Amino acid sequence: MVQDFDRTLVRAQAIAAEHSDRVRWEEVIPYSRTKFVALARSLVSGWAERDIESLFLPFDGHRTPSEQAKLFLKRPRVTNARPWQSPHNWGCAVDFVAFTADGWSWDANEDWDGLGSYAAAHGLTQPIKWDRPHIEDPGAWTIIRPLAGLR
């Protein structure tokens, strides 16, 4: 059991390092980036200490308008936000997905409530109930939305 745990953690750390290009940390607002990085570290620690059931890692961060358009057109629908309507386009949202021994998991049985609790402890929110991996910085998004002409 301990060996499986250690192997999963080592593999997860390697995957997270490989995946940092997809998250594009440098394009996440610095104020928000600090919170998201602290959340990522906290989630790994909480999982290692068995405080949270699922190991959540950053999966997707900043998105270009063309990436957002592709997601918007995807079926089944994975987002309701068109280009420039998503906090991902503005660098104030990151998706955290469970990582298991079998790879990435969006399974409904993952500890999504635990992810939300950890996010809240870092001043972040999990505002979309059907998109549980989505974590955003409400402070940054509150400032950006009106500047972007969004309601």
What is the per-residue pLDDT across 7-53, written as a single tens digit (0 to 9) for each? 666 766 676 666 667 788 899 999 999 999 999 999 988 988 888 98
Q: Hey, is 133 helix, strand or coil? A: coil
Q: What is the pTM of this model?
A: 0.87
**Strand 55-60 versus strand 134-136 pairing type:** unpaired
E strands present in the chain: 55-60, 93-100, 103-105, 134-136
Domain count, the chain: 1
The four Cα atoms 14, 43, 100, 79 give a dihedral, to 10 degrees, of -100
Whichever domain contains 128, its CATH number is 3.30.1380.10
Instruction: State yes or no: pLDDT of 2 exceeds 60.
Output: no
Average pLDDT, the chain: 88
Helix orientation angle between 112-121 and 30-48, rounded to the nearest 10 degrees:
130
Q: Which domain holds residue 33?
A: 2-147
